[in-house]
Structure 1
Amino acid sequence: MALDGYTPVPPTHVAAVVTYLEMREPPPPLSREPEPEPLRLAEIGADLARYRALYAAIGEPWLWFGRARLTDDALLTILSDPDVEALALIEDGRDIGLLELDWRQTGEAELAYFGLVPEAVGQGRGRRLMEAAVARAFARPIGRFWVHTCTLDHPGAVAFYRRSGFRPYARAIEVTPDPRLTGDLPRDAAGQIPLLAE
């Protein structure tokens, strides 16, 4: 791959710039008046159908494919690990957000997946869910909490993570088969990203 200029990407693939961000300690708490009602979070555990439905509802508009490509056995292995916590944010009896934390690397926590269904974005829920993520991550003895996002994700993702206390530390380019062509996602997912091969 060229380190200066353009690098062609096959029409069967997509490419994204990935930004890695981290925090070494939790940011100071925000004071609010009055204190809002606690978020209703529920463990998803081994409920693969629930996890996959929520993951798709949040991620298909942004071409999330990582978990979509996994077999049920592979996904169950991750979600059953005691060092992985997948939680659904529930409102009015339905799942509207996903918070997945991963402590499998010694001394650190990864914010593996984080998001809200499209109709729940922009109303303060993401900030509150991130506060819960930070508190849960640092409830264990870790030296850093990290996340990565990419240019296929919501355009405000990096700014949101920075406002939440994360600092960017690395970038990479990811090139992968287009998940809409492999059958991992519906062909009409992420309509803002054109399909180049039919």
Structure 2
Amino acid sequence: MLCYNCLKPTFKIFCSTCEKDFKQLECKRRILDDGLEVISFYKYSKIKNLLSHKHYISGYFILNKLASYSYKRFRFKNELAYAIGLDDDIKEGYSHTAILLKNMKANNIIPCYNVIKAKNRVIYKGKSLAFRKKNKRNFELLKNIDKPVILVDDIITTGETLKQAHAVLKKAKINVLFAVVLADAKV
């Protein structure tokens, strides 16, 4: 087997050198224009090739490993909160957002699945901010939430998806503490 990152021979998902490198998080904070704070763990350029696996079965193993290095280690010292993923639908045999949610589980963070879904299945990959604003995802809330939430996604580019989800939750009077993503394409 080869390391998914550097292609060196290994018996694991990543070789020991890459594993050590991925365990060194590059946490960044970004505040969106609607006030939502977004915490990212990696520079997009560092994991771009790995994220391209998310629609294949190899992505299940890669995302689970990256999430164990980042999301699983993420802790905050506030009250009990739900972690909710954006569109945690099963695609290609698994949900990449659900993998991230699973790794958020802690004493005061409860993963909550199938909470918010996009009615518009438009694909934003490679699209401009103008396109994203014109073609909103039209999120709908599927469950009643009685605790503050942490939004979870894999990547942030323009922030439009997170802002749209945030707006729906605010309208429902749900306190969104912040969002976490694996990578921020802006930093």
Normalising by the smaller structure, the TM-score range is 0.3 to 0.5
TM-score normalised by L of structure 2? 0.34
Higher relative contact order (CA 8 A, sep 6+): 1
Structure with larger Rg: 1
TM-score normalised by L of structure 1? 0.33
